[in-house]
Amino acid sequence: MFTKLSVQNFRAIGERGLDIDLAPVTVFVGENGTGKSSLLQALALTAQSAIEERRYRDLVLGGSKVSFPPAPASDQNEAYRVIVHGKLADRVVSVGFELEPANTDWRAVGFAGSPPPAGLTSSQWPPRRVSYRWRRGGRGGPRKEWAHALSLDSTEILAARQETEESPRGILRVERSLTLAGQDLTAHWHGQPDRVLAPELFVPLSFNFGPAEPEVGLLGVVERTVDLIERCLAEVHYLSAVRGVELMEDQIGPEVRFVGQHGEQTIRLLAGLQAKSRPELFAKLVTWAERFGLAGMVPGWAGEKQLKVKYTDRGTTLELGDAASGSLQGLMLTAQLLAPPGSTILLEEPENDLHPAFEKLLPELFADSVHAGHQVLATTHSEVLVAALGNAVRRGQLLPDQVAVWHLERDGEEVGAERIRVTDRGYLEGWVKSFAKVEQELADEWHDGLPEERQ
């Protein structure tokens, strides 16, 4: 589970940056333009840059998890301005996170039960948390400098920095500095900038370090830590606010674990879950589909290479294209939130097209998702959703420490964040400021419009 997210100079988030503590269910609220979506996009961009399009040596701005508007192909540096706060090329973009992997993840990379390697003490082993941060940009343009840091618990085990200079002949000179458990290691060569979590950046065994030969055991820890982070980032999925039945695909294809950025793979995911013969999971999916107005939901084969989803409405069998838009939105959310466990699911405005009666159900759906092994990060403008989070805690569906509500607010060019805590009785310790402001304005307008009392 991701426990912290730090972002600086990315999209709506400026130089001051934000450091956000994350819970199993984290909800971001605030006015438009305060950086709610930027937080989700920063994590999604980091994930796809680490694991997708490995031939690229840089950030992957268009991938399966998140896509940013393309820039003119004639200027490669210009493409990256779209993610920089204010589109200022000299700003340094920084994204970092902390995560607490599950025990199964530790075992998968061989950490559990092993002795501490040379360079780490018994008090530092076994680790509980992993932290990673990348920095990109600086004076001279977005490709000027890359920096990376990797930590186990609070101990930084590796820091890497590379600076590029382009010669008149177009050759990049890369200067890279490494600090590995206190040892300074430096290498110089010509080449391309390294992508997020590039293995050769963290474990450059092929280079001659001179007198400072790194400890092989510690290099193995770095390799396995990078592998563990990649495993977690591979299960980060971003569902954009732009989604709908018009974007859904009904073609038979490879198995998927994600409904897609725009919900386009919802039908294929549902059909795959049914075909996997997981009766308990599929029964829960059917139950939730009915609560969103799609009774008797059954995905199946439509002939040739097409799939379909049928449901029943007052005794009539219909297909998914006949459903109300709010029901379709609910089905997309259900398919992703109850998919096979282990994902971090990033939801942009899950309340889209939902009546308040459906919005009220979302925290309960989030709770089911958490119990299934997922983590949920969502942005919202829904007062109903935020208030219903308290009800989910009051009913015992979620514990208070499983919920984090963050209110984002703009202060000039900067964005600040304040956490609204939920008590064990389900009360929010303070209402959302931006909601309260609008509610007060409406109340004042309503009061001012009342006719004067007759004498």
pLDDT in tens, 56-110: 667 888 888 999 887 655 455 677 888 999 888 788 899 999 999 876 777 777 6
Say which residue, 133 or 149, is predicted with more confidence: 133
| Model confidence at 430: pLDDT above 80 | yes
Residue 188: CB atoms within 10 A of its CB come to 10
CA distance 28 to 372: 22
| pLDDT for res 361 | 97
| Model confidence at 233: pLDDT above 90 | yes
Give the pLDDT band of residue 212 (cuts 50, 70, 90): very low
3-class secondary structure per residue, the chain = CEEEEEEECECCECCCCEEEECCCEEEEEECCCCCHHHHHHHHHHHHHHHHCCCCCCCCCCECCCCECCCCCCCCHHHHHHHHEHHHCCCCEEEEEEEECCCHHHHHHCCCCCCCCCCCCCHHHCCCCCEEEEEEEECCCCCCCEEEEEEEECCEEEEEEEEEEEECCCCCEEEEEEEEECCEEEEEEEECCCCCCCCHHHHCCCCCCCCCCCCCHHHHHHHHHHHHHHHHHHCCEEEECCCCCHHHCCCECCCCCCCCCCCCCCHHHHHHHHHHCCCHHHHHHHHHHHHHCCCEEEEEEEEECCEEEEEEEECCEEEEHHHCCHHHHHHHHHHHHHCCCCCCEEEEECCCCCCCHHHHCCHHHHHHHHHHCCCEEEEECCCHHHHHHHHHHHHCCCCCHHHEEEEEEEEECCEEEEEEECECCCCCECCCCHHHHHHHHHHHHHHHHCCCCCCC
**425-439 mean pLDDT:** 89
Give the pLDDT band of residue 253 (cuts 50, 70, 90): confident
Say which residue, 32 or 275, is predicted with more confidence: 32
Give the pLDDT band of residue 299 (cuts 50, 70, 90): confident
CA distance 406 to 409: 10
Please identify which residue in the block is written with the tokens 């290691």.
185
pTM: 0.89
| pLDDT for res 47 | 94
Instruction: Indicate the domain borders of the chain.
Output: 248-339
| Model confidence at 312: pLDDT above 80 | yes
Torsion 193-199-201-207 (CA) sign: negative
Most confident by average pLDDT, 76-80, 160-164, 201-205, 422-426? 422-426
| pLDDT for res 211 | 42
Q: At what angle do helices 325-337 and 362-371 cross, to 10 degrees?
A: 20
Residues whose CB is less than 8 angstroms from the CB of residue 180 and which lie 6 or more positions away in sequence, other chains included: 119, 157, 158, 214, 215, 218, 219, 222
